[in-house]
A and B are shown apart, each in its own frame.
Chain A
């Protein structure tokens, strides 16, 4: 239901990336790893201190810090 921030997603929740707001180095890195609009992601888990998060995209697992996840908007069901 609607578009939320990746940080707000719970474990095991899935969604589709709608927007990546980061530019420069971080933006490049995110895109290189496949975090681009249209891709489906699933939050796989969170570290013991709830940061970073791990997510599943295109069949592999990726980690992101919360402040990096803030740049990514996701449409969830």
Chain B
């Protein structure tokens, strides 16, 4: 006997609020096997006993329409919970009961938690709970999930009714269907067809509803019986089509609603006001989705979210950066010079720091999105923008992911990819999460800033705007291309509820935010650390051969040999890290120091060229020259896979001017301007490549997690790079032709 109970109900019925109320912090989030639908579990300890609670995804029905419905149904069928706690929105009783009726038809014990009694009362809806309970033959407990009212009574009722026998609800679906159902039930029972999992009558209903999932498993169980049933279904269908011009599934839905209506009509529900009276939500909607005001308000809210996320997360991001800088400094002093030190600092600390650096960003972003989602505004945004996004095979809800990823330059694709979770339609969601990395994230900006400053200094603003437009157009067109080829298919219906505006609960938002953040740290952290070490190794090994190192050593001795020892002493003190002395370096010492630095840079440059990444860069030069890139650019782009701003620092090393801080690129700009093979054409070709090529690997890992398969992550790396290369080559070649 299991004590597992499930919490089930419509979306926006307060299910998650009740779940949080019952389990508090004792909950954890996982996935249902094989799908990306979240599975929340928790325990509830109370006077009435200890319960294991599973929060089923919110659904309107059990017809296997969406992934959520399939998951919910499979769980009920396979795990056979001892009780379904069905949360029902009292202010929206009729539609909510449609799902309840389907639970009752399954024959699993149901307790109804009648939520939002306060809202219902405010709207002038009065419900005779006792009568409803008697008519439906299930226990009903009124609750207010937000305040926890009725929680104790609910738990007592659950405990009292948990393992009781229940008589499954039988609804009359009219003469034609009932006759067919009886006949089918008889066949199913006598041949024990699928009876291990389903009740006979339920299977029969699903056959009439033309439920592909049940029909499939029926064929596998016993093809002969399956065909027999399908024949009966066919007969009824053609009869109904001929007489009533409708399918059995239509009649079944009608009759379910009819049953609910007949229950409610027996003085169960009474309205003090007109049912369609303007409610506060409607008044807000008149303004917020207004033809003129709506878009303006939306832009303002998006800008607000954006400012909130990226401005306020800057401070904690700064803390993380200083912390990892400090740890790096400690490691720098504690470890001996060599590969181990380089691994710890460049591979591990920078890698982990890079991952954790995103954490404040993700937290703030989800805090904002959770607020917009829970308040009901996100649904309105999807409503307003659906027309535009649908043209490209996307969904109104896609906008959030695009904006967060850098639709307004300066976002980040990592939270952007994670934001696609608010999208419920699988195809649109996949197309969105594959195209959001084309947006201009904050890490691409230093690359653009460098190139624009060097080659387009007169038209900086115009070129930056052009870059933003190119990435939007590119993303939408690629989305459209994907949706017409490999993610082809009818767009998912936009039949969506606009939930009433509600003030989100503080607890709900915090739990939601923490869940997302922790998932990110846990899942991404491990993989990212590994990849970061691999990238470090690629840019470090095999290192310079002995003879080469010796050459650089010799150069150093040549420089220092002729120098008086006072000046060498000065440099010695500098080496020990006494910064105050640096400012006082004599002119001569400074000159020596500079020559020495140049040797260091040359050595780093030579080392990089000889590394695996360098060799890849050099070997690709033959192909990349068509886009105008030499081996130095290639290495920088390989490095950019770690994080896009690395492109800048690696270019610095490749051009032997030492590490370049992404924020201060003036010296590198000058260097590039003077460098052979560089010009506006090359620069813009590189800009195009940077917009479109493989997302940084943190994003790639997130794509794999969100799309549910590494296949799509690999696709985004290969496809994006190929696309970027193609576009750059076309641009560069056509540009060269025009210019010459």
Task: Report chain A residues within 8 Å CB of B294.
Answer: 47-48
| Complex alpha-carbon distance, A20 and B95, angstroms | 17
Whether B286 is near chain A, meaning CB under 8 Å from some CB there, is: yes
Whether B495 is near chain A, meaning CB under 8 Å from some CB there, is: yes
Whether B174 is near chain A, meaning CB under 8 Å from some CB there, is: no
Given the interface pairs A28-B65, A44-B282, A65-B494, the reply to whether A49 lies near B92 with Cβ below 8 Å is no
Whether B247 is near chain A, meaning CB under 8 Å from some CB there, is: yes
Residues 639-676 of B at the A interface (beta carbon under 8 Å): none
| Complex alpha-carbon distance, A64 and B286, angstroms | 17
Closest B residue by C-beta to A22? B493
Residues 44-77 of A at the B interface (beta carbon under 8 Å): 44-45, 47-52, 54, 56, 58-65, 68
Given the interface pairs A48-B289, A61-B498, the reply to whether A56 lies near B276 with Cβ below 8 Å is yes
Q: Establish whether residues B92 and A36, one from each chain, have CB atoms under 8 Å apart when the complex forms.
A: no
Q: Establish whether residues B257 and A34, one from each chain, have CB atoms under 8 Å apart when the complex forms.
A: yes
Closest B residue by C-beta to A60? B92
Task: Report chain A residues within 8 Å CB of B494.
Answer: 52, 63-65, 68
Q: Establish whether residues A32 and B497, one from each chain, have CB atoms under 8 Å apart when the complex forms.
A: no
Q: Establish whether residues B94 and A58, one from each chain, have CB atoms under 8 Å apart when the complex forms.
A: yes
Q: Establish whether residues A26 and B497, one from each chain, have CB atoms under 8 Å apart when the complex forms.
A: no
| Complex alpha-carbon distance, A40 and B168, angstroms | 30
Q: Establish whether residues B94 and A49, one from each chain, have CB atoms under 8 Å apart when the complex forms.
A: no
Whether B496 is near chain A, meaning CB under 8 Å from some CB there, is: yes
Given the interface pairs A34-B98, A59-B91, A61-B497, the reply to whether A45 lies near B289 with Cβ below 8 Å is yes
Closest A residue by C-beta to B295? A48
Question: Number of A residues whose C-beta is below 8 Å from B?
Answer: 39
Contact of B63 among A14, A28, A58 (CB under 8 A): A28
Chain A 17-37 per-residue mask, 1 if CB under 8 angstroms from chain B, else 0 = 000100101111111111111
Q: Establish whether residues B496 and A36, one from each chain, have CB atoms under 8 Å apart when the complex forms.
A: no
Task: Report chain B residues within 8 Å CB of A49.
Answer: 387-388
Whether A7 is near chain B, meaning CB under 8 Å from some CB there, is: no
Given the interface pairs A54-B383, A62-B495, A65-B494, the reply to whether A45 lies near B286 with Cβ below 8 Å is yes
Whether B202 is near chain A, meaning CB under 8 Å from some CB there, is: no
Task: Report chain B residues within 8 Å CB of A64.
Answer: 494-495
Task: Report chain A residues within 8 Å CB of B386.
Answer: 47, 51-52, 65
| Complex alpha-carbon distance, A49 and B249, angstroms | 34
Q: Establish whether residues B63 and A47, one from each chain, have CB atoms under 8 Å apart when the complex forms.
A: no
Whether B182 is near chain A, meaning CB under 8 Å from some CB there, is: no
Task: Report chain A residues within 8 Å CB of B275.
Answer: 58-59
- The minimal Cβ–Cβ distance linking B256 to chain A, given in whole angstroms, is 9
Given the interface pairs A26-B493, A62-B497, the reply to whether A32 lies near B94 with Cβ below 8 Å is no
Closest A residue by C-beta to B125? A59
Closest A residue by C-beta to B249? A28
Q: Establish whether residues B276 and A42, one from each chain, have CB atoms under 8 Å apart when the complex forms.
A: yes
| Complex alpha-carbon distance, A4 and B499, angstroms | 27
| Complex alpha-carbon distance, A50 and B209, angstroms | 34
Chain B 262-293 per-residue mask, 1 if CB under 8 angstroms from chain A, else 0 = 00000000000001100001100110011110
Task: Report chain A residues within 8 Å CB of B61.
Answer: 28, 32
Q: Establish whether residues A68 and B495, one from each chain, have CB atoms under 8 Å apart when the complex forms.
A: yes
- The minimal Cβ–Cβ distance linking B427 to chain A, given in whole angstroms, is 12
- The minimal Cβ–Cβ distance linking A14 to chain B, given in whole angstroms, is 7
Q: Establish whether residues B498 and A20, one from each chain, have CB atoms under 8 Å apart when the complex forms.
A: no
Contact of A63 among B250, B276, B295, B496 (CB under 8 A): B496
| Complex alpha-carbon distance, A27 and B495, angstroms | 10
Contact of B60 among A33, A42, A54 (CB under 8 A): A33
Whether B510 is near chain A, meaning CB under 8 Å from some CB there, is: no
- The minimal Cβ–Cβ distance linking B617 to chain A, given in whole angstroms, is 48
Chain B 6-21 per-residue mask, 1 if CB under 8 angstroms from chain A, else 0 = 0000000000000000
Residues 483-525 of B at the A interface (beta carbon under 8 Å): 493-500
| Complex alpha-carbon distance, A28 and B484, angstroms | 25
| Complex alpha-carbon distance, A37 and B251, angstroms | 10
Q: Establish whether residues B285 and A45, one from each chain, have CB atoms under 8 Å apart when the complex forms.
A: yes
Task: Report chain A residues within 8 Å CB of B500.
Answer: 60-61
- The minimal Cβ–Cβ distance linking A51 to chain B, given in whole angstroms, is 5
| Complex alpha-carbon distance, A64 and B387, angstroms | 11
Task: Report chain B residues within 8 Å CB of A56.
Answer: 276
Task: Report chain B residues within 8 Å CB of A30.
Answer: 493, 495
Contact of B253 among A25, A32, A68 (CB under 8 A): A32
Task: Report chain A residues within 8 Å CB of B167.
Answer: none
Given the interface pairs A20-B250, A32-B63, the reply to whether A58 lies near B92 with Cβ below 8 Å is yes
Closest B residue by C-beta to A53? B383
- The minimal Cβ–Cβ distance linking B120 to chain A, given in whole angstroms, is 10
Contact of A60 among B95, B290, B493 (CB under 8 A): B95
Q: Establish whether residues B65 and A29, one from each chain, have CB atoms under 8 Å apart when the complex forms.
A: yes
Closest B residue by C-beta to A36? B254
| Complex alpha-carbon distance, A48 and B299, angstroms | 14
Q: Establish whether residues A14 and B493, one from each chain, have CB atoms under 8 Å apart when the complex forms.
A: no
- The minimal Cβ–Cβ distance linking B544 to chain A, given in whole angstroms, is 62
- The minimal Cβ–Cβ distance linking A35 to chain B, given in whole angstroms, is 8
Chain B 436-450 per-residue mask, 1 if CB under 8 angstroms from chain A, else 0 = 000000000000000
| Complex alpha-carbon distance, A6 and B94, angstroms | 22
| Complex alpha-carbon distance, A50 and B285, angstroms | 15
Task: Report chain A residues within 8 Å CB of B291.
Answer: 48
Whether B390 is near chain A, meaning CB under 8 Å from some CB there, is: yes
- The minimal Cβ–Cβ distance linking A7 to chain B, given in whole angstroms, is 14
Closest B residue by C-beta to A14? B276
Q: Establish whether residues B65 and A32, one from each chain, have CB atoms under 8 Å apart when the complex forms.
A: yes
| Complex alpha-carbon distance, A33 and B59, angstroms | 11
Q: Establish whether residues A44 and B285, one from each chain, have CB atoms under 8 Å apart when the complex forms.
A: yes
Chain B 33-66 per-residue mask, 1 if CB under 8 angstroms from chain A, else 0 = 0000000000000000000000000001101010
| Complex alpha-carbon distance, A26 and B491, angstroms | 10
Q: Establish whether residues B254 and A63, one from each chain, have CB atoms under 8 Å apart when the complex forms.
A: no
Closest B residue by C-beta to A50? B387
Task: Report chain A residues within 8 Å CB of B94.
Answer: 34, 58-59
| Complex alpha-carbon distance, A51 and B286, angstroms | 15
| Complex alpha-carbon distance, A39 and B258, angstroms | 11
| Complex alpha-carbon distance, A31 and B209, angstroms | 12
Q: Establish whether residues A33 and B95, one from each chain, have CB atoms under 8 Å apart when the complex forms.
A: yes
Residues 302-351 of B at the A interface (beta carbon under 8 Å): none
Contact of A65 among B60, B249, B285, B493 (CB under 8 A): B493
Whether B384 is near chain A, meaning CB under 8 Å from some CB there, is: yes
Task: Report chain B residues within 8 Å CB of A26.
Answer: 493, 495
| Complex alpha-carbon distance, A20 and B452, angstroms | 57
| Complex alpha-carbon distance, A33 and B505, angstroms | 27
Q: Establish whether residues B495 and A33, one from each chain, have CB atoms under 8 Å apart when the complex forms.
A: yes
- The minimal Cβ–Cβ distance linking B518 to chain A, given in whole angstroms, is 33
- The minimal Cβ–Cβ distance linking B131 to chain A, given in whole angstroms, is 20
| Complex alpha-carbon distance, A64 and B294, angstroms | 18
- The minimal Cβ–Cβ distance linking A38 to chain B, given in whole angstroms, is 8
The 4 nearest A-B residue pairs measured at CB: A31-B253, A32-B61, A49-B387, A61-B498
Since A27-B247, A54-B285, A61-B285 are in contact, a sample of 14 more A-B pairs with Cβ atoms closer than 8 Å, ordered by chain A residue number, is A28-B253, A29-B65, A29-B493, A32-B63, A35-B495, A36-B250, A45-B289, A47-B289, A51-B386, A59-B94, A61-B281, A64-B495, A65-B494, A68-B493
A-B contact pairs, 9 of them (CB 8 A): A28-B63, A31-B254, A35-B495, A40-B276, A47-B386, A52-B386, A59-B275, A63-B495, A64-B495
